[in-house]
Amino acid sequence: MLFSLKHTLKSIWRDFIIGWRARYLIYPKIARNEYSSKELSLYTDLQALQLKIQNPTNVTGFSIISDKHNCIDKNSVLSNPKAFIRSRSIKTLLRNHISTSGSTGRPLTLVQDINTVVREEAFVYRQLRWAGYRNGDRRAWLRGDIVCTDKPRQGVYGCRDWWSNTLMLSSYHISSNTIRSYIDALEAFDPVLIQAYPSSIYALASWMITNGVQYSGPSLSSIVTSSETLEPAMQELIEKAFGCRVLDWYGQAERVVAIGTCEHGSHHVLTDYGMVELLPENDGLYELVGTNYNNHAMRLMRYRTGDLVRIGPDSCPCGRVFPVVDTVIGRRDKIITLPDGRKIGRLDHVFKGMNNVVEGQVVYRGEYRFILRVVPGPEWLLVDAERLVHQLKQRIEGLIVEVETVAAIPRGPNGKFEFVRIEENA
């Protein structure tokens, strides 16, 4: 597998600006919170003091919200984003913008300071350590990054990042004709950890089980999934095919709630990441509501994530003091299977950064035909449509893509529309 100078230099730069601070300055502080309710309380009290909010007295349990009118949601931020952006200070001088479309396809642009990125890296690093990973270990990456051209390099759709010791594989070229090369590349590299979209690693695992193939890399300790809902059946099949545990990480671009999975499979709500409260719904479900501790450039307080959980057991055999929930219910994106066997999931990246899109929907009509259905903003131009088509085609080759502008996208009974819709008989 050829090394990628581009990704290696990018990794060096990121490590210099973010990585070492996350691992050596922030991680030791949050590591002390894992097994000590006293350390956790001291830490969260300090975060709450800096934000000038009242911190829950019990950070090892949950606070229940009785009135949803005291909360904000995505619509609140979309309607008046400037109301949530804080004045610049020395601490928040360096900022950047991130975009998310979320499960409903409505683009949302958020402001974060550089310390937010560093702290996010530290919390993710703690999750990776729970999975058995240590900085410098061999790692494989199978997510939404563009890591190769349409032609495979030495038979594999991917490249090597020398600095981070990472095998980067494309999630956009997985098909029944290419999966064998993915497995061969993974076994040859023999990573300790694989980080992947659930849909991507599931596609490999499903093919392996169907064809009687068992992964033979001896060093693989864990697979960490994120960005999509990991269904129990998917997790069981992945663990069977790869012979290791699968840990799932839950977070969102708004940076208000994070949930990490420990080695016992429990989903711990990380109450040192943000102040987490629960809003009661039906059938014993609760909506996750969070207040971010880490982003001082854009304060989101009591932000409704739209994702639901059930409260889990009071404790976990791992001994960590963070409260436990059952698997997060949400992010159930459809997986599209193309005629050549490629499986496509997690398509919300198509609308990221599109400020002239009010709402967007991906419609698949079979035979490689896609419709990008858009509710356009007041400044919508033809170039925006061209950009949308490009953003989809540059990730998935051989598609027929059209943009359709509409006045509104129909909602379902739950008030949401299908972000990915399949209409193969249309």
pLDDT digits (tens, 9 = 90+) for 297-323: 888 999 999 888 999 988 899 999 999
Q: Which helix (H) or strand (E) holds 115?
A: helix 114-130
What angle do the packed helices 198-210 and 179-189 form, to 10 degrees? Answer: 100
Question: Quick one: pLDDT at residue 415?
Answer: 45
217 in Cβ contact with 353 (< 8 Å): no
Residues (pLDDT < 70) of the chain are 1, 101-106, 150, 153, 330-334, 346, 348, 411-417, 425-426
Q: Give me 131's structure tokens.
A: 């999975």
Domain range annotation of the chain = 5-325, 347-422
Same CATH topology for 5-325 and 347-422: the answer is: no
**Any idea which fold 5-325 has?**
Rossmann fold (3.40.50)
Q: Which helix (H) or strand (E) holds 226?
A: strand 222-226
What are the C-alpha distances in Å from 217 to residues 134, 171, 186, 187, 392? 18, 20, 7, 5, 33
Burial class (CB in 10 A: 0-12, 13-18, 19+), 141: buried
Question: Quick one: pLDDT at residue 414?
Answer: 44
Residue 116: name the closest of 219, 241, 249, 256 by CA: 256
**Any idea which fold 347-422 has?**
GMP Synthetase; Chain A, domain 3 (3.30.300)
What angle do the packed helices 198-210 and 232-242 form, to 10 degrees? Answer: 60
SS3 assignment, position 17: helix
Task: Provide long-range contacts, Cβ within 8 A and 24+ apart, for 344-348.
Answer: 344/172, 344/396, 345/197, 345/198, 345/199, 345/200, 345/228, 346/144, 346/171, 346/197, 346/199, 346/227, 346/228, 347/392, 347/419, 347/420, 348/100, 348/101, 348/102, 348/103, 348/105, 348/419
Question: Quick one: pLDDT at residue 330?
Answer: 63
Question: Quick one: pLDDT at residue 209?
Answer: 87
CA distance 124 to 229: 17
Question: Quick one: pLDDT at residue 133?
Answer: 97
